[in-house]
Structure 1
Amino acid sequence: MNKLQAMEVFVQVVDAGGFTRAAEHLQLPKATVSTLIQSLETALSVKLLHRTTRQVSVTADGAAYYERCLRILSDVREAEESLSRTRLSPSGRLRVDAPTGLASLVLIPALPEFFQRYPDIQLELGCSDRTVDLIEEGVDCAVRGGALADSSLIARRVGILEFITCAAPSYLDSFGRPGHPEELKRHRCVNYFSSRTGKIFDWDFARGNERVQLPLPGLIALNDSNAYTAAGIAGLGIVQMPQFMLEPMLRAGTLEQILADWQSDPLPIHVVYPQNRHLSAKVRVFVEWVAELFSNHPGMRLPKLAQAARPLTAELAL
């Protein structure tokens, strides 16, 4: 039995939901498809599929094996791409993870241009504010904002997040407008906590040589950027968020900037990916496209510093 061929057939049967359609797609006799699956189950001593007269469904073991097969077959294709002309026209499935705000407001609106360049890439974009495990969850690369810690991942810095402090007009009418960060201790603030550790993040401010970092009181803490914005608009308290996310609300007047003469430390944005993806044409062109996209965004443009890739992973995703 050709193990790689058997894996490809198994993946196709699962994707197609049956032997007949898989055989048609692969242009193989149905009997050959059935024999390869049986041989695979025999070699593994595991039942991969439930078969009835009406349908084929994957077993729990089969589902786990399916995910592994996807990764193995993807690695094989990427190894071939790295040595062939397909590097000039990357193709196949690309799994990316990105924070909700960055995905919805920056990445997704620009994707038509990406697909014009690379029409043969099928993008699977996961959007959440939690830090995914790229290896465990089979993600090719992730866009992350925040501090980085040493690990086996490769990271390329592609932009920065500039933060501003805002509140809804209804909140300011009720509680007043603070003139100094220390006055926030007497206000209500909407806090943000890490979905990975549960830690509520301190607020930081700088003006000239003066720096302030402090925890602040609040009625609510959230770990999703869209929910965080909604809490600010609802008047639940003062919010501090990336400028690119708040600009539409500032223009609409649903939020007003406060403490405008105080800045928060900007956070770097990186694209991170496992070391075994560094030769992947799909990952390479996506990282280059993201870097180009952010370089043209006034609120996220990286200063003229080196953007060399280095082994790192993100501690925080915003």
Structure 2
Amino acid sequence: MDPIQAMRIFTRVVEAGTFTRAADSLGLPKATVTKQIQALEARLRVKLLNRTTRRVTVTADGAAYYERTLRLLTDFDDIEASMGQARSSPRGRLRVDVGTSIARMLLIPNLPAFHERYPDIQLDLGVSDRIVDMISDNVDCVIRGGNLIEQSLVARRIGNLEFITVASPDYLRRHGTPGHPLEIEREHNTVMYFGAHNGRHYPLEFHQGDEVIEIPGPYKVSVNESAAYLEAVLGGLGIGQITSYQAEPFLAEGRLQRLLPEWGHPLLPVYVVYPPNRHLSAKVRAFVDWAAELFAARPLLQGQSLPAGLGTVGGQAA
């Protein structure tokens, strides 16, 4: 039995919570994972895991073994990553999770350049707006906007997103152009966004000096995915708020028009986040640095405002 492989399998079972999920994430048959754990327990002469029909939990001995094993594996990976070849040519399978809009508009179009730079990295890209459990889902890193909640994770801030208020020309022809946020609540429809993880509806926000106005509707459609949200606004279903990076090409083409530019919205920070036990991985470091470069090269992803007047209606240049 390879002791390093057995340790990796054991830590993955603990993190995944089931033999099936651990086997899937490792690309191994479930029977192999089960036999490895049984052999490990036999060699150590202790019971490491409690097994039920639905979930696996660690025993007291298993928890202690997990903590020490995790440190050892981290040191082992650090030794390998510190070698010159590993740094210059990181390799292996990398699981990344990212929101739909960032994936579609930024990451995927630039992946050929990433693979040209790192040909030996195999990328599994999860694309959704849901919040993943990085440990149980075996995700190496995620790119997400918003304030961080889980303080145990390592985060690097790579961008800031400006949100602007927009609508399609067709919608404005049918419903008119609002001159104040409160007119939206009284006289218009909005496109609303609700969280994929909690079902909460997020109102449109308008900030001007110390004044803050939140508009919770009315709406005829609400979605929980950013690409669908954009399509709903483009389709004339209501007024919405999207990032300036998303909006720029549609404003230039005339498919969207900007509303109420004198009312702002707080910048949304964007982070690339990864578990602390993976911070020394060469492949994770390579992806994090590459993603940071992508964001840094685009001013609209660093909080810079759109050019004055681009696609603006309501008394300003359109």
TM-score in same-fold range (> 0.5): yes
CA distance in 2, matches of 1:16, 1:5: 12
Asked if structure 2 preserves the Cα contact closer than 8 Å seen for 1:115 and 1:121, the reply is: yes
Partner of 2:116: 116
1:43 and 2:39 matched: yes
Q: Deviations over 1:137-178 (max 9, x none)?
A: 000000000122242111111001111111111211111100
Farther-moved stretch of structure 1 (74-83 vs 121-130): 74-83
Deviation at 1:78, TM superposition (A): 3.0
Asked if structure 1 preserves the Cα contact closer than 8 Å seen for 2:161 and 2:303, the reply is: no
1:151 and 2:151 matched: yes
Equivalent AA in structure 1 for residue 249 of structure 2 = P
Deviation at 1:237, TM superposition (A): 0.6
* Number of matched pairs: 268
CA distance in 2, matches of 1:157, 1:302: 12
Partner of 2:268: 267
Partner of 1:279: 280
1:11–1:38 CA distance, 2 compared to 1 (3 A): closer
CA distance in 2, matches of 1:37, 1:155: 32
Partner of 1:164: 164
Q: How does 1:173-192 map to 2 (within 5 A)?
A: 173-186=173-186, 187-192=188-193
Q: What root-mean-square deviation, in Å, do the aligned CA atoms of Structure 1 and Structure 2 show?
A: 3.5
CA distance in 2, matches of 1:221, 1:206: 23
Q: How does 1:21-36 map to 2 (within 5 A)?
A: none
Asked if structure 1 preserves the Cα contact closer than 8 Å seen for 2:234 and 2:255, the reply is: yes
Asked if structure 1 preserves the Cα contact closer than 8 Å seen for 2:184 and 2:215, the reply is: no
Equivalent AA in structure 1 for residue 129 of structure 2 = D
Partner of 1:125: 125
1:229–1:43 CA distance, 2 compared to 1 (3 A): same
Q: How does 1:177-256 map to 2 (within 5 A)?
A: 177-186=177-186, 187-256=188-257
Structure 2: where are the runs of 5+ without partners? Answer: 10-21, 42-52, 57-69, 305-318
- Taking structure 1 as the reference length, the TM-score comes to 0.73
Partner of 1:81: 80
- Taking structure 2 as the reference length, the TM-score comes to 0.73
Q: Deviations over 1:177-231 (max 9, x none)?
A: 0011111102100000111111111221123443323322111111101111111
Equivalent AA in structure 1 for residue 115 of structure 2 = F
Structure 1: where are the runs of 5+ without partners? Answer: 18-33, 46-60, 65-71, 304-318
Asked if structure 2 preserves the Cα contact closer than 8 Å seen for 1:205 and 1:213, the reply is: yes
1:7–1:278 CA distance, 2 compared to 1 (3 A): closer
Asked if structure 2 preserves the Cα contact closer than 8 Å seen for 1:155 and 1:271, the reply is: yes
Equivalent AA in structure 1 for residue 83 of structure 2 = S
Equivalent AA in structure 1 for residue 39 of structure 2 = A
CA distance in 2, matches of 1:168, 1:247: 13
Equivalent AA in structure 2 for residue 43 of structure 1 = A
Q: Percent identity?
A: 45
